[in-house]
Structure 1
Amino acid sequence: MIKKFGVKNFKAFKDTGDIELKPMTVVAGPNSSGKTTILQSLLLLKQTLENKNPGVELDLDGRFMQLTSLKELGFGKPSSQKCEISYAFTLETEIPVKVAPRYFPNLTVSEESHQLSLLSDVAFSFRCMRAPGEKQRIQVAKFDLQTHLDDFAGPRFSFRYAGKEVTAQVGGAGIDRMQPGRDRKILAVGGAHFVPSFLLFKRLGNPPEERTQVAEVWLDQIFAIPLRELATELERNIRYLGPLREEPKPAYLHSGTSSAEIGKRGEFAAQILWLERNERILYKPSLYANAETVSLGNAVNDTFRRFGIADGIEVKSEESVTYQILFPLMGHKGKKHVTIADVGFGVSQLLPIVVMGLRSQSSSLLLFEQPEIHLHP
């Protein structure tokens, strides 16, 4: 889980400092103060990890941001050669107890323990580089991973490298296979996008024919576990709802996609609510209530009742081609309903937030961009 993060030289920020992520984190400020920039810094990494080409280390042209060069992101509009943007994350991950003795031989744990808390600091930067005979492209300029057990005064492990063809620095017990030596050197660091996963070694020994042998060595678990966690958090667990929501409509057309996300404008809310209305979710109706397993449809209805907005809503579909969101007509004794287009505009702003929140796992990071134009006086 990401505990905090920060960026440097990114658009409006020379340095954001540490931004701690709590169960609810509110970023508020005047216009053009950088609120959206903070979200964009995370969405840029998310769209990179979603790119089907693992060789793209930073994707500037994806579904959240569309840029043509790195300098468009740089603080103070530097030249392409001087532009370098940096990220820093602090993660808390779990490492299996059975793996721990290899790295922490003096550690004593109870028999009931199955997981140990691993704290990791990950920092990396991007800049435009040009290899001989190649075009200039964005690459990871520096990478630094520091990790240790929480509440344990034991060894700390480090993995650092700069560029793609330099010697990586690896420190810590139990990771000899990753260490360079007199008989081998590290040629490069490989992986998917900006996340390293293996080292490329070249043999230096005799006989001469062995000098051309190259071998891949995967990162030890002490490094691989937090890096996988970071990639998962950024790619799969971030959910984003933008400021320009889908206008309320009498009926919504089927999107033709089985998107698992609500959409940047909440445009898939009606479709998802219909298709997953009977899916069982873990629902906690209030802060002090016990969690219970209910259907998504019932959870949405209960949420709107608690907000005092409607005594339940109904979703209808015509052969999965169109979807309607219906609200009971207030003050009417019968079962007459009106569509979401006939109720307050704020309801259409709230519905995607409710559906998105109820469908998300506890480990998800939900990003809501809610400008003051949509706030009720």
Structure 2
Amino acid sequence: MFTHLRLTNFKAWKDTGNIELKPVTMLLGTNSSGKSTLIQSLLLLKQTVQSPDRTVHLNLGGDEVNDLFNFGSFDDVLNQAAEGARQFAIGFDFQRDGSDRVGSGSFDCTYGRTSSGGVAIQTLDLRAGNRKFRAIRRDKGAYSITVNDEATPRFKGSHYAPERSIAFSADAIADLDQDGPAVEDLSLAIRRELDGIIYLGPLRRNPERDYLWNKTKPGEIGIDGHSAIDALLANALLKGEEQNHIVHGVSHWLARMKVADKLEVRQLGRSSRYELIVHRDGVTSNLRDVGIGVSQVLPVLVVAYFAPSGSTIVLEEPEIHLHPLAQSVLAELFVAISRQRKVQFIVETHSEHLFRRMQTLMAKQEVTADQAAMYFVERDGKAAKLLSLELDDYGRLKNWPEGFFGDALGETREQARLMFQRQQAAKQ
């Protein structure tokens, strides 16, 4: 999982500092404040490591089929108030389970603009344990390679240019001799961490009345959840040890949210088409005929069980079209699934109900400060500003952000004042 994130001069962020990420991390804040940018920085790296061009330094997007986002140009990414060198930086720390050769490490990369308008790595730092590997851009596209804090580079040349932001070139690995396998393992661990990001955006597909299943399991859910139903069908219909575990898991949380009793996959005759049936209060309905909230939360529930152990699930506005109780239950989902399935959730949300339930879970000691982090993002002039929300052992917020969720206590006081005022007037 990702344990820290760092951004400098990246879009709305001048300097985030070292943001601590937990198994469940919630990002709250005002509209257009910079919450989504925190998520997009990781997605930018993910689409870079998955680029078919291994020589690319940063894939800003443009391929509507294969890319997650189109970030535009270097100038679109660079913070408008950036001072000095026109560069931006992305960094993160990570920790993996014991099966990997590299249990933990860090990535830090600074990017600059080339004369042709492209993006080039200026410095790349990869760290694991007490070993640090650095590539530094020199004149005319040449790079020098150093290990730890060596004053003199081991070698330099254009053929030592890093690849896909995270990897040293084959020539650099070969010339690093005994350190070559170490930096190669580190790059592989970083790639696995980025490949393990599963992103579900705020705009999800509308439901269909029935679905054609091609008898295969999808490789991913898709940023709009378009393959969530395929994942459900595969889990229900393919024979295996975990058959129906996604269907049962989704049904459990739909019932907890009180939006349905259970979900059923039903074949249409003897065809290859299937419909999703929603059971509630003894009534069965096609998914197309129930409230939009069910179909919109379905990909969120599916991805929670579909994601492999060790994945990072990134969600934007998972609460969309859900009533308040259902929004609250999402907090329980994130905490329970993160613990049960060893997956990480990074959630951007506007839901006060989701946040309030997280407070309650902390008060109940069902989640601790080591397992969950919550941040509030707001604008400070042109720049984004991050506030770490501090909760005590009873879930009470010590540093409430002014004006975001409204003033519930103030509204109650005003209602009481007006009631008393009207009662007094009636007596006169």
Common fold by TM > 0.5: yes
> Which residue does 2:167 correspond to in 1?
196
> Which residue does 1:299 correspond to in 2?
249
Report the CA distance shift for 1:95/1:170 in structure 2 as closer, same or farther (over 3 A): farther
User: Which ranges of structure 2 fall in alignment gaps of 5 or more residues?
Assistant: 325-428
Q: CA deviation at 1:31?
A: 0.8
Report the CA distance shift for 1:252/1:78 in structure 2 as closer, same or farther (over 3 A): farther
User: Which ranges of structure 1 fall in alignment gaps of 5 or more residues?
Assistant: 97-114, 149-155, 202-214, 283-292
Q: Is the 8 A contact 2:121 2:165 kept in 1?
A: yes
Report the CA distance shift for 1:257/1:297 in structure 2 as closer, same or farther (over 3 A): closer
> Which residue does 1:54 correspond to in 2?
54
Distance 2:169 2:55 in 1: 14
Q: CA deviation at 1:143?
A: 1.0
> Which residue does 2:306 correspond to in 1?
359
Which residue, out of 56, 72, 75, partners 1:71?
75
Which amino acid is 2:148 matched to? G
> Which residue does 2:148 correspond to in 1?
171
Q: Is the 8 A contact 2:105 2:127 kept in 1?
A: yes
> Which residue does 1:21 correspond to in 2?
21
Q: Is the 8 A contact 1:281 1:359 kept in 2?
A: no
Report the CA distance shift for 1:69/1:309 in structure 2 as closer, same or farther (over 3 A): same
Q: CA deviation at 1:343?
A: 1.6
Equivalent position SS for 1:192? coil
Distance 2:9 2:74 in 1: 11
Q: CA deviation at 1:223?
A: 2.7
Q: CA deviation at 1:45?
A: 1.1
Q: CA deviation at 1:13?
A: 0.6
Q: Please list the CA deviations of residues 207-235 of structure 1 after superposition, one character each: whole Å capped at 9, or x if unmatched.
A: xxxxxxxx655753433333211111112
Q: Superposition pairs for residues 1-377 of structure 1, below 5 Å? A: 1-61=1-61, 62=63, 63-76=67-80, 83-93=86-96, 118-130=103-115, 135-148=116-129, 156-163=130-137, 164-171=141-148, 180=154, 185-187=155-157, 188-198=159-169, 200=171, 216-217=175-176, 219-235=179-195, 237-252=196-211, 259-277=218-236, 278=238, 295-318=245-268, 322-332=273-283, 337-370=284-317, 374-377=321-324
Q: CA deviation at 1:37?
A: 1.0
Equivalent position SS for 1:265? coil
Q: Is the 8 A contact 1:316 1:323 kept in 2?
A: yes
Please identify, of 257-266 and 355-364, the stretch whose mean Cα deviation from structure 2 is larger: 257-266
Q: Is the 8 A contact 1:92 1:120 kept in 2?
A: yes
Q: CA deviation at 1:329?
A: 4.8
Q: Is the 8 A contact 2:135 2:162 kept in 1?
A: no
> Which residue does 1:111 correspond to in 2?
none
Q: Please list the CA deviations of residues 8-60 of structure 1 after superposition, one character each: whole Å capped at 9, or x if unmatched.
A: 11111101222222111100001111111111111111111222111222111
Distance 1:344 1:95 in 2: 44
Q: Is the 8 A contact 1:123 1:143 kept in 2?
A: yes
Distance 2:49 2:271 in 1: 31
Distance 2:211 2:98 in 1: 45
Q: Is the 8 A contact 2:9 2:15 kept in 1?
A: yes
Equivalent position SS for 1:313? strand
Equivalent position SS for 2:25? coil
Q: CA deviation at 1:342?
A: 1.7
Report the CA distance shift for 1:365/1:243 in structure 2 as closer, same or farther (over 3 A): same
Report the CA distance shift for 1:78/1:255 in structure 2 as closer, same or farther (over 3 A): farther
Distance 1:339 1:56 in 2: 46
Report the CA distance shift for 1:279/1:349 in structure 2 as closer, same or farther (over 3 A): farther
CA-based RMSD: 3.4
Report the CA distance shift for 1:25/1:67 in structure 2 as closer, same or farther (over 3 A): closer
Q: Is the 8 A contact 1:252 1:323 kept in 2?
A: yes
Distance 1:275 1:327 in 2: 18
Report the CA distance shift for 1:223/1:279 in structure 2 as closer, same or farther (over 3 A): farther
Distance 1:281 1:125 in 2: 45
Q: Is the 8 A contact 2:14 2:82 kept in 1?
A: no
Equivalent position SS for 1:348? helix
Q: Is the 8 A contact 1:186 1:199 kept in 2?
A: no
Which amino acid is 1:11 matched to? K
Which amino acid is 1:328 matched to? H
Q: Aligned pairs, how many?
A: 312
Q: Which has the higher helix share?
A: 2
Report the CA distance shift for 1:40/1:257 in structure 2 as closer, same or farther (over 3 A): farther
Q: Please list the CA deviations of residues 153-210 of structure 1 after superposition, one character each: whole Å capped at 9, or x if unmatched.
A: xxx222112115232211389xxxx973xxxx33242453112234637xxxxxxxxx
Distance 1:91 1:308 in 2: 37
Report the CA distance shift for 1:227/1:124 in structure 2 as closer, same or farther (over 3 A): same
Q: CA deviation at 1:92?
A: 2.5
Distance 2:232 2:108 in 1: 39
Scaled by the length of structure 2, what TM-score is found? 0.64
Equivalent position SS for 2:109? strand
Q: Is the 8 A contact 1:146 1:158 kept in 2?
A: yes
Q: CA deviation at 1:116?
A: 8.1
Report the CA distance shift for 1:34/1:256 in structure 2 as closer, same or farther (over 3 A): farther
Q: Is the 8 A contact 2:45 2:194 kept in 1?
A: yes
> Which residue does 1:211 correspond to in 2?
none
Q: Is the 8 A contact 1:249 1:339 kept in 2?
A: no
Equivalent position SS for 1:195? coil
Q: Is the 8 A contact 1:70 1:83 kept in 2?
A: no
Identity of aligned residues (%): 29
Q: CA deviation at 1:259?
A: 4.0
Equivalent position SS for 1:28? strand
